[in-house]
Structure 1
């Protein structure tokens, strides 16, 4: 999927640039520090196994002895002469050790002396003359026991012709603590201490970088998630009623923003750390022993192909078995519910045979499901274990043949085990990145939508309604879907009257009344208040005169005071209480635990439907609008509450124009006019009695509503 949306969101919303850069550096540093610790592990294990000793000639394998002989022959006579004088002062023996065409074949002892001379030259070339002198001082040694243990120099000598020896040589020349002997003619103690100090420092630095990375990644992630949520929140208010689905902002605000945050977090951690880890570990494995590394890769490919295919087959079998078992179980449950039918038609034997077949099929399906689930993972583990044993056998043979060291084997094993977490992190990063791209595309599309109608630069002030509200040829399509909600709607509501909107589609009714406070503009036609097109009046004056009490916005989680006053400081406590009394809400508010300071809403004190409605009505009455839009409670309400609601609505009607989205017969009977919407068109209007007598669709609509009310009442009883 295209990453442009995600990259654009990062550019627009990711402001913590410094933190992001430091996090990336820490991510790279964590990977490099781990690789350095593996190198130190190699040196540590080698020191434990060899104790820093340089091998004698007799300890070399025949292959190594042959390599040394060829290496010795390639040296100049001057080099050989200088080195030989370090191991013996006898002229006759010097000539034999230097070698030549006419010299007799050297004895085993002479080969040992020649080996010491070769080691001296190798240390002088690879490390430094001081290191060579530490191995063979100017006075010839009496025996091999006098040769000191020289820390890393033993590894340099054994692997002098490999990359490890060539790399360690210059490092040892700059760090004499790795090989310089102490007064006891031993360098191992200082070398071991140095390795532990290095490991401690690197581990400490790596730990600091890991914690810093986690902290900065969390800070960057929270920063972009909060910025995205703020943008979604603000744009949701810009869109308002233009949203085709009310749950869309909630998904963007929560799940989609989190997905983008997870992708950003993974891009700071796994994106840089894991590739470096994988590449570095593979290079280390290949350099440790190329032949064994290739063998491992071949075995890993074999496990991947063969084991993966077998495991996939058994998982597929398990899924098929699970579906079949579910079907069989559903059929058996159905058979249990046929008791009366079986007895009525005397089909006991038939039903018994049917159930037996279903039980047999369920057993086969269950076995197929269990076999698939039980064999998939164990089979893959068994194949991987066989491959690991084979690799261990090959490695052991290489160690016994002298082609591989124990230190190399341990390091390779740890490196192989260390490959799994970064590979898993890379797969997890790809998954999070894909989800982040999808979420970023959804958020970008949402933020690119045009918001609610803006206010005209020269908008007029709208006074209180004294004449009429008029709809002229209004057409409206649902934003985002294009579904027609209103089609050529024309009607007039005189000031001070009470009207009701009814219809089969709640979306059409809500769309019609939401046009009045200009939450959205019609696609065609106009709405006029006081003979002013509401497109050309200020939002503030329009929404001061038009207040809506809708079911989806009765309450929010806060105190009763804030639910009524909405945090507006211009409303005093006496005014809030007076509005609550007018809406018949004061009595139940006083009975709450903390009165007007009680937290109500979804995450606070739960109120009944009638109480929530009266609280919302108090909020509207506090603002004293001239046009009040009321969506009546759709749920069941007890008789006492209904009486209070009727009285509340009667009080609210004084001096106001009321537009009802009616759900009660008493409201329809009490309004001056009822407008009937059907498929977006205004098909009829009149009083309740007129429509009941003359409109079949209206009668059917009311009968359906009455039936639903009776069912609800029976359920409550």
Structure 2
């Protein structure tokens, strides 16, 4: 486990956390709850005394309580007659148990709240790290990993940490209070009873861990055997073709018998574990019961009332021990979850701003890719030796049979990813020497599957830029033809899309993304069109939008519509990580087989959705 994970986990899984400010009220409540247990035992002993003597007016015959406490009981008026004493004692029992329940509920809620707060800090770190590291995630692997950590791993950490904290916080005060109270009743008998209980508990923990390890091993063997048997079902063609039915049946029967044997072994191991636990827990109760009974019958140290008090105290002691039985399992689960999160957080983002970075002026002459090499997690040569020049003001379409190549090229421009070799230059300046803020304000990418922000339409367009006015946002919306559907939303530009995201269709979300990019007025704009088919009205609006935004601006399209390709000045075809073809659309259609193949795959009438994507 990493040192950082260990340090952070100690804020959740450590006894010292119970002495911090958030936990102090819960710790006090747990201690008070534990101190109520001896009072409950005293009340039960009083009821026992009433049953034996018929009155509580005299002190218990075996003097199991200190003399001052016993004498105080005789001076309470409500305890003078048997009927009032019985009513009073049962009323006290109800009140004490209700109060103890309320205190434990308070402890539970506090533990849940504090644990939730700590785990949410982990989630905040995951979110921040994802924002820094995931923009260049071309295959979505990091995004899926972050989502799994955010939802599943963090939830496991929260559950394990809560169970550990609550059980630890409530059980340890109970155990200490009950152990001390046993010595108050009769220290010698108390110790004689505590020692076998603790020994049995230790043996139980050891045996449980051993049986769990054996069970896991047997389950793995059973699963492997079942997989081998399942594999026989896939050999029907081979078996029938060579007439091996008898041989195959013999092998299958032998495998089935082996599987049956291992399955029976697993069941026996489970039964053995259950019986071992039952016997150990039976010993935890029977041995102290025998010791108490022997002292009552043959000894002079305790009487029946003291025996009842010791028995009830030991019962609660065993229950408290059982409740902390899974401490190691909960802490282990929490450690595994925390370490998984920290391993993700320790990943260094692939893109960072260099010291001394300079402000980047808007592109005025040339965008150049010089001997670019880009690696992905599954493809070490996604782009390899790519050279490309795009002049300012051009409208360019970039296509490839592997869409990850075009996405990698587009991601290079705003530095969502950095090349492992080569450089990207804007007007001769390496973009790695520019500040990220100035670069990404002048080189904007609109992805075809961009989600919306969980905020208002207006803030979706302005993207948090306070200097942008409402009128600027509306003008951008008009250029992108988003104004038409925004007016139909429940509150127009003030509609919260976190609540009404389902109201937007793919084409509408795309036009909203275009409006967001247009509002920034970048010199270089990259547009990836949606894969999902659009209706004719949306296509017409997009064509008009493209004509408006391409004037006096460099625009690079990652197209999914043939009409977009035809209207570009150049079409660049990538293949095997390099530029395989570059020229006007009409030229490539006539003379380039690779481009014609790409167009056929994407737009032929017999294509499937898998082919298109």
TM-score normalized by structure 2? 0.74
**Alignment partner of 1:426 is 2:324:** yes
**Alignment partner of 1:710 is 2:607:** yes
Change (3 A) 1:489 1:417: farther
In structure 1, the partner of 2:20 is 20
| SS of alignment partner, residue 459 of structure 1 | coil
1:305-316 paired onto structure 2 within 5 Å: none
| SS of alignment partner, residue 584 of structure 1 | coil
Equivalent in 207, 211, 225 of residue 119 of structure 2:
225
Q: Offset at 1:491?
A: 0.9
Change (3 A) 1:373 1:648: farther
**Alignment partner of 1:237 is 2:145:** no
Please tell me the root mean square deviation across aligned C-alpha atoms, in Å: 5.4
Of stretches 186-195 and 620-629 in structure 1, the one that deviates more from structure 2 is: 186-195
Q: Offset at 1:303?
A: 8.3
How far apart are the structure 2 equivalents of 1:43 and 1:646?
Answer: 86
**Alignment partner of 1:618 is 2:512:** no
Q: Offset at 1:454?
A: 1.8
In structure 1, the partner of 2:353 is 454
Of stretches 188-197 and 243-252 in structure 1, the one that deviates more from structure 2 is: 188-197
1:460-499 paired onto structure 2 within 5 Å: 460-463=359-362, 465-478=363-376, 483-499=380-396
How far apart are the structure 1 equivalents of 2:425 and 2:23?
Answer: 58
How far apart are the structure 1 equivalents of 2:435 and 2:220?
Answer: 62
In structure 1, the partner of 2:475 is 578
| SS of alignment partner, residue 553 of structure 1 | coil
In structure 2, the partner of 1:151 is 59
**Alignment partner of 1:437 is 2:436:** no
Equivalent in 168, 177, 180 of residue 72 of structure 2:
177
How far apart are the structure 2 equivalents of 1:293 and 1:605?
Answer: 63
How far apart are the structure 2 equivalents of 1:648 and 1:498?
Answer: 14
| SS of alignment partner, residue 608 of structure 2 | helix
**Alignment partner of 1:566 is 2:463:** yes
Change (3 A) 1:285 1:308: farther
Q: Is the 8 A contact 1:40 1:195 kept in 2?
A: no
Of stretches 677-686 and 626-635 in structure 1, the one that deviates more from structure 2 is: 677-686
In structure 1, the partner of 2:436 is 539
Q: Is the 8 A contact 1:321 1:369 kept in 2?
A: no
1:323-402 paired onto structure 2 within 5 Å: 399-401=296-298
Q: Offset at 1:462?
A: 0.7
**Alignment partner of 1:556 is 2:453:** yes
In structure 2, the partner of 1:666 is 563
How far apart are the structure 2 equivalents of 1:568 and 1:383?
Answer: 70
How far apart are the structure 2 equivalents of 1:382 and 1:429?
Answer: 20
**Alignment partner of 1:277 is 2:174:** yes
Q: Offset at 1:678?
A: 3.3
Q: Offset at 1:512?
A: 1.9
| SS of alignment partner, residue 551 of structure 2 | coil
Deviations along 1:228-248, one digit per CA (max 9) or x if unpaired, are 333333343333525561233
How far apart are the structure 2 equivalents of 1:8 and 1:308?
Answer: 27
Change (3 A) 1:687 1:22: closer
How far apart are the structure 2 equivalents of 1:677 and 1:442?
Answer: 38
How far apart are the structure 2 equivalents of 1:425 and 1:692?
Answer: 75
Q: Offset at 1:468?
A: 1.5
Q: Is the 8 A contact 1:471 1:492 kept in 2?
A: yes
| SS of alignment partner, residue 245 of structure 1 | helix
Equivalent in 491, 509, 516 of residue 413 of structure 2:
516
Deviations along 1:148-178, one digit per CA (max 9) or x if unpaired, are 95425x333xx6xxxxx6xx25x54xx8524
In structure 2, the partner of 1:82 is none
| SS of alignment partner, residue 489 of structure 1 | strand
Q: Offset at 1:631?
A: 0.8
Q: Is the 8 A contact 1:513 1:629 kept in 2?
A: yes
| SS of alignment partner, residue 444 of structure 1 | helix
In structure 2, the partner of 1:5 is 5
| SS of alignment partner, residue 501 of structure 2 | coil
The gaps in structure 1 that reach 5 residues or longer are: 55-146, 160-164
Q: Offset at 1:471?
A: 1.4
Deviations along 1:521-579, one digit per CA (max 9) or x if unpaired, are 33333222233332333434322322111134242333333322334444444443333
**Alignment partner of 1:44 is 2:30:** no
| SS of alignment partner, residue 246 of structure 1 | helix
Deviations along 1:650-678, one digit per CA (max 9) or x if unpaired, are 33322221111223333333322233333
How far apart are the structure 1 equivalents of 2:371 and 2:132?
Answer: 26
Q: Is the 8 A contact 2:45 2:305 kept in 1?
A: yes
Q: Offset at 1:204?
A: 8.0
Q: Is the 8 A contact 1:217 1:269 kept in 2?
A: yes
Q: Is the 8 A contact 1:151 1:187 kept in 2?
A: no
How far apart are the structure 2 equivalents of 1:273 and 1:266?
Answer: 11
Q: Offset at 1:402?
A: 5.7
Change (3 A) 1:524 1:431: same
Deviations along 1:55-103, one digit per CA (max 9) or x if unpaired, are xxxxxxxxxxxxxxxxxxxxxxxxxxxxxxxxxxxxxxxxxxxxxxxxx
Deviations along 1:33-58, one digit per CA (max 9) or x if unpaired, are 42x4443344334433345999xxxx
Q: Offset at 1:688?
A: 4.2
Q: Is the 8 A contact 1:151 1:191 kept in 2?
A: no
Change (3 A) 1:414 1:447: same
In structure 2, the partner of 1:162 is none
Change (3 A) 1:461 1:390: closer
Deviations along 1:454-491, one digit per CA (max 9) or x if unpaired, are 2654613413x33121112233344x889444333221
How far apart are the structure 2 equivalents of 1:671 and 1:41?
Answer: 86
Change (3 A) 1:327 1:644: farther
How far apart are the structure 2 equivalents of 1:425 and 1:603?
Answer: 46
How far apart are the structure 2 equivalents of 1:509 and 1:656?
Answer: 20
Change (3 A) 1:373 1:644: farther
